[in-house]
Structure 1
């Protein structure tokens, strides 16, 4: 019983700390406006500057752009396989055309 109480208390104390860590931005970019032009950036730049976009998704964006032409809106990114509404919404302030 004592072990369970100690475990519960530890979880209560640790939970807010882990949530706070998730909500912080990368200190490397704190105070810097990060934007990327999805019509001209290469895969490496897209992967580095868009949240939730790794090299594979970034390459898919570039391939789609090469095949279909420039994006007219940020929402058009959802036509790229692996890119959903949530990812676009999360990056709206970073995406430039």
Structure 2
């Protein structure tokens, strides 16, 4: 043993070789351990993270589609149908006023401040229904309503049949001007109604109006007394 020890001490090259071998052994062991740890990390944590990210992406896309669908459905109900009439003549505040489908001529005249002291209320029908873009002209006592005002103030929707019932507008045969006589139906919606019946052939039921942007179930119910899809 002493001879071996003495031989090692007397041989510097041998000492260096032994030290290098030991160093390489430690280096190799550390490298192998690091690779094993790296493989564990690659095989477990990133996979879960990848799956979670994928699932999260799927949920987000589904939520977005659902939100768009919900918005589209609710937007039909929340978009208000705004109608306007032009009130002129012997009222205290002439001007343009909005109205709901339930209101009559009397209501918008009240919004215009009521009749003046010189107004001739006998020449106007305060109970008449209103249509979008209608002109309401109130003459003074002794004045005749101008012909131009009579033409615009006429109420085609109130045309009656022999049985005294109001004549409804047929969604399948009415032209652009006739469709705009329906309360709440302006030029844009009238064009969409015509486009819809050209694409679908015809309206089979009044509820199909909900396919028109801005018209929901509540509006359809309000329009039942104004429109038809048959010859009634």
1:34 Cα deviation from its structure 2 partner? 3.8
Please list the CA deviations of residues 17-47 of structure 1 after superposition, one character each: whole Å capped at 9, or x if unmatched. xxx615x524854684141000111121101
Unaligned stretches of 5+ residues in structure 2: 1-105, 109-126, 131-152, 161-165
Say what the alpha-carbon RMSD is for the aligned residues: 2.4
Which residue number in structure 2 is paired with residue 44 of structure 1?
A: 177
Q: Partners in 1 of 2:183 and 2:204 — Cα distance?
A: 20
SS at match of 2:225: coil
Between Structure 1 and Structure 2, the one with more strand by share is: 2
Q: How many residues align?
A: 77
Unaligned stretches of 5+ residues in structure 1: 1-19
1:67 Cα deviation from its structure 2 partner? 0.8
Q: Partners in 1 of 2:159 and 2:170 — Cα distance?
A: 20
Say yes or no: does 1:35 pair with 2:121: no
Native 8 Å contact 2:168 2:228 kept in 1: yes
Give TM-score scaled by structure 2 length.
Answer: 0.30
Which residue number in structure 2 is paired with residue 93 of structure 1?
A: 225
Give TM-score scaled by structure 1 length.
Answer: 0.66
Between Structure 1 and Structure 2, the one with more helix by share is: 1
Alignment match of 2:216 (pick from 79, 84, 93): 84
Moved over 6 A (4+): none
**Largest Rg, 1 or 2:** 2
